[in-house]
Amino acid sequence: VQLQASGGGLVQAGESLRISCDASRRTFLPRFLSWFRQAPGKEREFVAALKWNGGSTAYADSVKGRFTISRDIAKNTVYLQMNSLQPEDTAVYLCAADPSLIESSKRSPNRYRYWGQGTQVTVSS
C-alpha cells in the first residue's frame, strides 16, 4: 500500500477534523497528491489537490475557505484540515497520487494511478 489515509471520525456540525495521507511507502515521486471524497450512492468528487513540486494548491468550490491541504515533506505526509464541517461533508475521504498527471487533469479522479484505502468522515447535525 503506497498511500495510507487516516484520521477520520464522527464530529458534529461546525467542528473541525484533520485527516492524513501517509505517502512514505510510495515508490514514485508524485506530481500531484490530492484528496477526493465519495458519499454513498454518489460519484467520487474532487476535494483538494497539492502539487508536490512547489506546493501550489487547488480546491473544490464546495470546500474553499473551509478546508486546507498541506504537507510535511520530511514525513512524506499530506494533510487535509477541515473546518466548519457540515453534514454534506460526510463521505469516505481518499487520497490519490500520480507521478505524471498534467495540471488540467488534477480534478479528475480517473486520471490518478495510486489510491489510498480511504477514511470515513461523518458529520452529524
Burial 19-47 (b: 16+ CB within 10 A, else e): bbbbbeebeeebbbbbbbbeeeeeebebb
Average pLDDT over residues 51-57: 93
Quick check: 97 and 59 in contact, CB under 8 A?
Answer: no
Phi then psi for residue 106, to 5 deg, are: -65, -20
2 pLDDT above the threshold of 80: yes
Q: If pLDDT is split at 50, 70 and 90, which confidence band does 27 have? A: confident
1 pLDDT above the threshold of 80: no
User: In the structure grid, which three cell numbers stand for residue 19, read together?
Assistant: 485527516
